[in-house]
Amino acid sequence: MLLNFHSFLQSKSYQYYFDLVSVLVAKELKVRYKNSILGYFWSLLNPLALAIIFYFAFKVIMRVPIENYSFFLLCGLFPWQWFANSVGSSPMVLLGNASLIKKVNFPTYIIPLASILNDAVHFLLTIPVILLFGFLFKVTPSPVYVWGIPCWFVAQFFLTYGLSLLFSSINLFFRDLERLVSLFLLLLFYLTPVFYDVSLVPKDYHRIIFLNPATGIIIGWRDLFMKGAFDVGLYFVYFFYSLGIFFVGFFIFRKLSPRFAEVL
Predicted local confidence at residue 1, as pLDDT: 42
Which pLDDT value is given to residue 228? 95
pLDDT of residue 36: 55
- pLDDT of 142 reads 92
- What pLDDT band is residue 48 in, cutting at 50, 70 and 90? confident
- DSSP 8-state class, residue 42: H
Of 10-14, 38-42, 124-128, 243-247, the range with the highest mean pLDDT is 243-247
pLDDT-derived band at 61 (thresholds 50, 70, 90) equals: confident
Distance separating alpha carbons of residues 171 and 11, to the nearest angstrom: 34
Cα–Cα distance measured from residue 94 to residue 18, given in angstroms and rounded to the nearest whole number = 19
Judge whether residue 247 has pLDDT over 90.
yes
Contact 74, 47 (CB under 8 A): yes
CA distance 1 to 129: 43
State the DSSP string of 203-259. Answer: GGGHHHHHHSHHHHHHHHHHHHHHH----HHHHHHHHHHHHHHHHHHHHHHHHHGGG
φ/ψ region of 217 (left if φ > 0, alpha if ψ in -120 to 50, else beta) reads alpha
Question: Tell me, what amino acid is at 174?
Answer: F
Per-residue CA distances from 7 to 1, 4, 17, 70 (Å): 10, 5, 15, 51
Task: Tell me the pLDDT of the chain averaged across its residues.
Answer: 87
Share of the chain above pLDDT 90, in %: 59
Q: Which of 30-44, 86-100, 162-176 has the highest mean pLDDT?
A: 162-176
Q: pLDDT band for position 104 (50/70/90)?
A: confident
pLDDT recorded at residue 164: 97
Rounded average pLDDT over 84-113: 87
Tally of CB atoms within 10 A around 168 = 30
Angstrom distance (rounded) from CA 150 to CA 164: 20
What is the 8-class DSSP label of residue 71? H
pTM over 0.75: yes
